[in-house]
Amino acid sequence: MSVAHVDDEEAAEVGDVEKALPSGDFYTGQWCNGCPHGNGKYLWTDGCMYVGEWFKGKTTGKGKFCWPSGATYEGEFKHGFMDGKGTYTGFSGETYKGTWVMNLKQGEGTISFVNGDYYEGEWRRGFQEGYGRYHWKNGNQYIGQWKKGLINGNGTMIWSNGNRYDGFWEDGFPKGNGTYKWPDGSFFVGIWSKDGKDQNGTYYPSDSPTEKFDWDPQQVFLEDLKDCKICGGEKVSIWPSEKMPNWFAISKEKDGKQRRRSDGSLSGFSMSSDFNGGSVSFGSEGISRHGDGSVGRLHLEDSVARGSSLQLKKPPTRRQGQTISRGHKNFELMLNLQLGIRHSVGRPGPALSLDLKTSAFDPREKFWTRFPPEGSKHTPPHPSSEFKWKDYCPLVFRTLRKLFDIDAADYMLSICGDDALRELSSPGKSGSFFYLTNDDKYMIKTMKKAEVKVLIRMLPAYYNHVRSFKDTLVTKFFGLHCVKLTGSTQKKVRFVVMGNLFCTDTAIHRRFDLKGSFQGRTTAKPEAEIDSTTTLKDLDLNYIFRLQKLWFKEFCSQVDRDCDFLENERIMDYSLLIGLHFREVSTPHTSGVSSPTGNGDCENGEASRLSEDSNDQLVINSTRQSPVSLGINMAARAEKTVRKNDCQVVGEPTGVMYDVILFFGIIDILQDYDISKKLEHAYKSMQYDPTSISAVDPKLYSKRFRDFIFKVFIEDT
């Protein structure tokens, strides 16, 4: 047994150790290559404790995690996450026993709530979903389908007094066909709705002389379900995965000197300094933050090699795009856009139903509104020139916003609030311009008339697709509009409002736009200019992404469904946009590699660029309590690849792994395989391999896209 401080040069590299860490934490157990490996016990200064198995510095295997509140988790861990079979007992006594996937309840499990309620059944992403039984303390029980923690689908509610309802549910209430029965044999059959106006049915009395002529079906909503509230359960204060220390950083010496390896090369550096009242630590892995959560950037200069002091500067907040302020060429257009959307969203409309009539999708279903500067009966006065505003299929897009859980007030505030929009620095390849709302929630894209026609044409199929598959990866559309400027130009500007895939507090360190084609699919920028805002392409890709088994199956199924939809609509030229956040910016799972963007060389210049260009955006624990869904905030592992020749579709894996957070979705879904694309295909086919170019038949495009994506994303074994 050796007892040492972690910054001690003589600390044992292999064997059983006791280590006091600079933070005040304490570890005792097996140790190998600078981190826990085997069985060990870790004590945090805040009172948290882990006892169990470790693998290369991460809790992996069986173990027990204890919180200061008295809550405990005992079971299986994987890469720091609660993953596998395990039991969580909350500080209040609430107990869940079942399977977990990356900190979330998933699969079969049972939970006993502190209020006496009980649930057993299926879980998905932390919520009751699938088939399950909920038993209330008062004797009521529900047996049937669930979705996102709510009763949803076909099921049976049995009350303690013997009454029961068999039928369909939506968001915790009877909806659709159902039967309500009494113990005496009488029953009510009909169509159920929380809105009494939509409810109808027939009451069938029993042979008993007692009949319920005065019974109102709305009593089920107003009275019977009052005592059937679903317990929300106890919140986990902090996940064990968020407590895992960065061993690569804390193994450095405190005095800021670089430690030399056995071969004489410098392994890294570390430094601490005061920064706005908090401590900021640096290592070759990047930047961490403490105290007030401030983030700093390290600037290495030539003087470092001569032993001069390092310089610390606080970077400005970096945001994409230029704010459209007064004097900007598109300032007036932005005002028109905001006035129009405020008018469209705020205009009263009929009660929404997800079952839309065919007439709502009619291309002629569009409305012009005139906006004179002095105002009118329906429009406010404004400082801009007169313009006309057009809404395309307003009822459809209003219903889509409801389907995507977009609150009308929040939507209006994001686009039409006091903050100006931001224009991205350059138009896309199509010539369209992009604008971002100040809160980054929505992206607005100018459109060609042909693109508008494609969207209107495919709108019924698009609506049915996103309604059927809530986890679809295709772009979410929220509104389609047109501004017509008055005067001699009579210029029309058409635009669509979409969801921004990268609306997150988590720093996006790398971006990839993947089509599965290779002709011209590389970044035109010089390597020195590539940073975290650069969108890289197929031939720039140097990773494969490993998804946990359940996520991988769901990913493959959804990509197939989305590609089938796009193929049926004769759409091509779409791509998978991927945003990559490295949880530990420079700490791979294989020793001797310093940067997730380099090629394995510790002195690779790309490593310092990542540190300089991306770490100023780094948000520690930024994913805590953030929602997770397919393509949004997904934990995964990225494995470095090397493409050894130009014929390789995907490079060969190197075994170098990184813990990452992924954001991805299918974008640019409005390119029809029209005559211009057919001519482009014919022309380029004479110069290049026809299978390598982007403009190909939608069926071939879909197959090639899937084949490529399913090589880039694989199951994590």
Secondary structure letter of residue 608 according to DSSP: H
Using CA atoms, how far residue 99 sits from 44, 109, 336, 663, in Å, is: 26, 6, 53, 25
Alpha-carbon Rg of the chain, whole angstroms?
Answer: 29
DSSP string, 454-472: HHHHHHHHHHHHHHH-TT-
Helix (H, G, I), strand (E, B) or coil at 224: helix
Q: Which of 455, 433, 507 is nearest to 661 (CA)?
A: 507
* Amino acid in the structure at residue 153: G
Give the separation between CA 205 and CA 88, rounded to whole angstroms.
Answer: 48
* Interacting residues of 219 by C-beta distance below 8 A, sequence separation 6+: none
Give the separation between CA 171 and CA 153, rounded to whole angstroms.
Answer: 9
Give the separation between CA 575 and CA 517, rounded to whole angstroms.
Answer: 10
Q: Which residues of 348-367 are buried (b: 16+ CB within 10 A; e: fewer)?
A: eeeeeeeebeeebbeeebee
Helix (H, G, I), strand (E, B) or coil at 708: helix
The predicted pLDDT at position 593 comes to 39
Same fold, 121-233 and 323-500: no
* Interacting residues of 278 by C-beta distance below 8 A, sequence separation 6+: 289, 290, 291, 292, 293, 294
Beta-bridge partners for 155: 144, 167
Note the Cα 417 to chain centre separation in Å.
Answer: 25
Q: Give CB contacts under 8 A, 24+ apart, made by 595-600.
A: 596/509, 596/510, 596/638, 596/640, 596/658, 597/509, 597/510, 599/542, 599/642, 600/640, 600/654, 600/656
Beta-bridge partners for 20: 5, 26
All residue ranges of the chain with pLDDT < 50 are 1-12, 253-317, 586-595, 597-625, 681, 683
Domain boundaries defined on the chain: 15-91, 121-233, 323-500, 506-583+626-716
Helix (H, G, I), strand (E, B) or coil at 20: strand
Question: Using H for helix, E for strand and C for coil, what is the string for 57-120?
Answer: CEEEEEEEEECCCCCEEEEEEECCEEEEEEEEECCCCCEEEEEEECCEEEEEEEEECCCCCEEE
The predicted pLDDT at position 303 comes to 32
Q: Are 392 and 452 in contact (CB under 8 A)?
A: yes
Please tell me the pTM assigned to this model. Answer: 0.60
Q: Which two tokens stand for residue 701?
A: 């495009």
Q: Domain 323-500 carries which CATH code? A: 3.30.800.10
Cα dihedral 708, 709, 712, 715, rounded to 10, equals: -130
CB atoms within 10 A of CB 665: 21
Report the phi/psi class of residue 37: left, alpha or beta, with left for phi > 0 and alpha for psi in -120 to 50: beta
The predicted pLDDT at position 2 comes to 42
Q: What pLDDT, in 10s, does the model give residues 215-262?
A: 778 888 888 888 888 888 888 888 888 888 877 666 554 444 444 333
Q: Give CB contacts under 8 A, 24+ apart, made by 143-152.
A: 144/169, 145/169, 146/121, 146/122, 149/230, 150/230, 151/230
* Amino acid in the structure at residue 630: L
Give the separation between CA 478 and CA 259, rounded to whole angstroms.
Answer: 54
Which class is domain 15-91?
mainly beta
Q: Does domain 506-583+626-716 have CATH number 3.30.810.10?
A: yes
Domain topology for 121-233:
2.20.110
